[in-house]
Structure 1
């Protein structure tokens, strides 16, 4: 029987009730998650290595490369034993332009006459010697049948929506979605389990954020990762080790983020679950016909 569009089996919770239970688990998991002293130490060490740019420049950098986190000039990366990957495009930020000038006492001084743009690169665009931030990278290991099944469903849903999915160089990220081209790229270096979680995360972006220019980056990422956690958990893949950390990092101390976006996560994950469930039922029916 169905209740409010959610499939229900006798004496079992409805899909909606199961999603709501998972939302509660996500909320509790993120609320109770805390960074270790080692995590804070790595972040502080990383900041100490990087040039101190203004908030304005950080916004300018993220407008060009949303995943930008730690930026520095080409020369600084070389000093750290790292090199810009071939084919990477520089991020342009502002730098003050000074000229020599003489004051009333005929002493030379520097006078600010304007700003020029200078090239910098994000850490994700470089490779070489390890960085303190590398110790914070969390990966989902393993190759489970549940993950492979979810990947199959996600690829079919994306294909139906004319959204190509490719696996290859994700430019330092685990994956990304390009709204202007309506396409998804997932890193081919990830394990199957991590690849699965990332694909569902980007699938949410493709279905919800393609034309969304009003929501903040934080909202988009919390909603995408929260929905990915719900969908993957529903079909048997636990991504809590990664998802709790990810959502917490985007919440940045805002304990009400999940409360704000909870209904949106519930609605989005519910729709994707129903799409996956239909594909699963079709697959099971086909298998039954083949073995009949």
Structure 2
């Protein structure tokens, strides 16, 4: 199995240990000159948006080429089987229990007699689609250079946050600029370039207009915005560069700073990607309600 590196010590058993171990490995790989390691992690963020930060790092570490993962029985239900001899990708799955409320509390609201609580984590294993065989699944979005309706949705999201969006013929050599409440985009770019530039500047607006602006250097802020553009661009099917990896030298082995950046990159990309989801039409909602009522 192609992996970034192998954790030889005791397997991490908590989210914090999982993140720390993977960040340490990433630092080692980058210091050894393997800049593609960061690209692998950022690509994983674009593919596994519903997974926790720690588990995204785990999937990227163990199988950078993974594109679609699921558990053994989930694949079975989808009509596919894990091939013999395949090794699962280890992640941490939450263990959820129930805490019964006191009788006097339960009497106040009989619908909430028990509450779900996180008891801990357990080892779980998922498999990439390349490790399975069976019926063909619906094709995922093909890579292309046209963001399509995503560009309009992104512009609408920006305006919904109270950020003014303008276009200019001259930004003094820049493709875009973020001014704190206003974004300017250079005219004349392709749709793909405009989309990537707008994501980059939107990331600045979401990340770098409060305390984080004074807590980080300009170059780190640029790296974070570029990485968000990379993750979002990959997720919507655009061909993106690997320029983000070039900024990693700024960390100089600072694992805590790198971990913080990667986490805010994932969170910010997730917010933007959620805004790009197409709206559910009233017809679809009506059909779903009819199915439930049937």
Q: TM-score, normalised by structure 1?
A: 0.44
Q: TM-score, normalised by structure 2?
A: 0.44
